[in-house]
Amino acid sequence: MIAWINFVTLLIATVLVPYFYIKSVQPVALERKIGPAAWKRCARYRLVSIVFMTITVINYIIYYFYPLPLPLPQHFPWPWPVSVAIGVLILIPAFYLLIRGSKDAGEETMQPSPEHTMYGGIYEKMRHPQAVGESITWLGGAFLLDSPFLVLYSLVWLPIYYLMCRAEERDLVLRFGPAYTDYMQRVGFFGPEQ
């Protein structure tokens, strides 16, 4: 019973993370409807998205102890340290991108602000370093938990982050205009210029 409750909670949280995140990255579009209060509302949406992301992390951990009765093995066929090594190899670049992207984005990582300018640093190499880092963090965590099911489930985050980034870019074009469209031509979406 715990396994199914956890799984349903995981599914709900997985849907609510992008729902609230997408709402959080549209302050300019929302400002056109409700005025300057949009920026604070978007910051609240971002916080709610992070709460559901935290719930999802907890669901992953609970899944380790209460897996679903599926025709998948509960663990990989190799020793657990191999899974840990794979997880760490994935998490090192993921955390680098997350930390570096957060540092270069500054306060905007958590709270959009109309005064904030376009980012520099790692954002001159890729447009969405935090999204790349976060999207593969799920996979690394699933390997740390030695769960084939969670590794497969983690693949759902790849299109989710892609959609979240596309939504964010629509608002950034409204916000920064030609400067952002030029930037899009110059810097690759998820990596160096494509």
* pLDDT per residue as tens digits for the range 148-171: 999 999 999 999 999 999 999 999
Residue type at 23 in one-letter notation: K
What DSSP string describes 140-178? HHHHHTT-HHHHHHHTTHHHHHHHHHHHHHHHHHHHHTH
- Tell me if 187 sits within 8 A of 193, measured CB to CB: yes
Segment 126-139 mean pLDDT: 94
Please say if the pLDDT value at position 64 is more than 60. Answer: yes
CA–CA gap between residue 97 and residue 120 (Å, rounded): 14
Q: Where are the domains of the chain?
A: 2-186
Q: Tell me the per-residue pLDDT of 4-57, one tens digit each, with 9 for 90 and over.
A: 999 999 999 999 999 999 999 999 999 999 999 999 999 999 999 999 999 999
pLDDT tens digits, 66-118: 999 999 999 999 999 999 999 999 999 999 999 999 998 888 777 787 887 77
What is the model's pLDDT at position 191? Answer: 73
Letter string b/e over residues 33-49, b meaning 16 or more CB atoms within 10 A of that residue's CB: eeeeebbebbbebbebb
Cα angle for residues 136, 142, 145 (degrees, 5° grid): 145
pTM for the predicted model, two decimal places = 0.90
In the predicted model, what is the mean pLDDT of residues 61-70?
95
Which residue bears the tokens 């790349």? 132
Fold of 2-186: Four Helix Bundle (Hemerythrin (Met), subunit A) (1.20.120)
